[in-house]
Every structure is written in structure tokens, then in C-alpha cells.
Amino acid sequence: MIFQQTHQAPHRNDAANDHPRDYRAAGKRGLLVVLVLIGVQIAIETMGGILSGSLGLLAHATHIVTDAVAICLALFAMWMAERPAAITRTFGYHRIEVLVVLLNAVALCVLASWIFYGAYGRFRGHFGDHDHHLDGGIMLAVAVSGLVISLFAARILYRSSARSISVEGALWHIMADLAGSMAVVVSSVLVLIFDWDIVDPILSVLIGVLVMGGALRLANKVIRILLEVTPAGLDVYLLCSKIEDLEGVTLVHDVHAWTITSDYNAVSAHVVVDPGYQGDIELLMRRIHSAIHKEFDVQHITLQMEQSAIECIETHHVGHLAARSLREIGQAS
């Protein structure tokens, strides 16, 4: 029979709560600074594209507009994620951040496709002898300023990207801009020295490949979260073994591990307690909770303590006993 009903860890305890809030605040500050920077970059590249006659600069300025939209969406998602949970949304609004990142991934795919299409048009124009006069000097000056801004923006976002999937999505947009600025710099130099217009579509294709790669990487992360795949780096077999090594624990079963949003992992498990255990069950539960939280970086933990697994209707097992046996046999041999 079930000895004690589910014990659920607080959303985030006070000691562990400061760091995620600090990361989120730093991420928002970074996004706001970058939003101002790319606003300046849009103005510079639009004016430079008009003065130099460069369609590449105007196209790049258009790309940056999509980055501004992506950053605004990321800020909105982070603001929504801070809203308190309600009875109809017990996990709050954290998954909005995931949906925004999915939208960013789709936008990057569309952007990459647009770059490929533009490059195709440039190739056709080049081989069809449709010349277009460009002012390489203005192109170079504007491209260098855009490159400096993109580098600074990428450096700001990189600090928080590991802790926020929203910031990571915005970072990939900035990295695409950075690659675009580098391509325009190279194109400008080659136009000035050799009058090689063909290099522009070639570099555009390389940029498109980079943008598409970033989009697929983001999409993979989002899909793993939505499918509730075990968080990367979390060894469920080892987690079960650690719990079963504690005095008083006979078996761990019905284990589930998933990610709610970036830097917010969850684990639930049924723990069978030895019927002859004379210790404090509540203390044992806190020890298990502490072990999962500290050793495996899990923030949301739900435990159900049982005296027997016979009447438990949940039959999901992760096969950790077989995996542990194989590991112990390998260590003994």
C-alpha cells in the first residue's frame, strides 16, 4: 500500500531561486541593450544601402528588422514566464518561451530560404550580364560599422544564452547578422579591388547555410522539450541508483524526467521504502530530494513514497536495474 502521498518540492526554494532570477534579469538587460544597438544598425545600413546602391545592404537591413522582432518576442516571453502560476496553469507560462523560440526557428528557416533565393537571382543576373554599379567605399564603411555592432551584440547575448533558450534564439539571429556583415565586408573589399560582383551571391549561400544550421539547432531543442525527452546530461539510470543506495530505499520505479523550459528540469518518481525501515520517512524524503536537486540540477521534484509496489497502478520502468547490473558486472570483470 502507499505509505505516503506525493511530496512535491516547491516551485523553486529561496536558496535556488536567486540564480535563475539573476540569469533572467541579466538576459532581459542584454536583450534591451541589443535591441537599441540593432535599431542603430538598421538606420545606418538603410541609409548606406540607398547611398551606395547596394541591394545587399538593404537586404541585410531587412534581416535585422526580423531580429528586432525576434528580440521583442523573446522579451515578451520572458515577461510572461514571470507571471505567477494559476489553478488553470499550474506550471505558469514558462512554455510560452519555448513557443517563441520555435517561432524564431521558423523565422530563421524562412530567412535562410530568402537568402538562397536572393543568391540565385544574383547568379542569374551575373551570368546574364546585368551589371549593377556599386559604391564599394560606402559599402565597406557601413559593413564595418555593422560588423562592430553585431560583435558587441553577440558578446552581450552570449553571456546569458546558456541559461535561456529565448536569449539563445536571439543570439542565433545576431550570429546570422554577424555573418552577413562579414560577407558584406569581404564583398566590398573584392568589389573595390577586383570588381568581383560574383562573390556576393557565393558568400550569401554560405550565410544561408549558417542561418539554416542555427534554425535546425533551435528547432531540435524545442522539439525535445515539447516531446518531454529526458534533459540532456541527466543520467536517469545513475539517478535511480543513487536513490536506491540510500538506507531504507528498496526500489525506485515509475521515473519520469523532462524539461519545462530552459534551466528548469523536472523529475517524478515512486520510491518503495523497506517495510522494516525504522527511520524518519520525512527525513528520508528530504535526503532524496536534496540528492536529486544538488547532484542532478533538477528544480522541480515530485516523490511518492510507498511500502509496496504491488498495488501501484503505474507500471512505467526505465530499465535502470538491468543497466545497473550490466555496469556492476563490467566493473567486476
Three-class DSSP labels, 170-187: HHHHHHHHHHHHHHHHHH
Q: For the beta carbon of residue 314, count every other beta carbon within 10 angstroms.
A: 12
Residue 306 is which amino acid?
E
Cα maximum dimension of the chain = 89
Quick one: pLDDT at residue 285? 92
| pLDDT tens for each residue of 310-319 | 767 766 666 6
Kindly indicate the confidence band of residue 267, based on its pLDDT and cuts at 50, 70 and 90: very high
Model pLDDT, residue 328: 64
Q: How confident is the model at residue 333 (pLDDT cuts 50, 70, 90)?
A: low
Share of the chain above pLDDT 90, in %: 13
pLDDT band at 173 (very low <50, low <70, confident <90, very high): confident
Helices (runs of H) and strands (runs of E) counted in the chain: 9, 4
The predicted-structure confidence for 107-135, as pLDDT tens digits, reads as follows: 888 878 887 887 787 677 665 555 555 66
Query: Is the predicted pLDDT of residue 321 greater than 80, yes or no?
Result: no
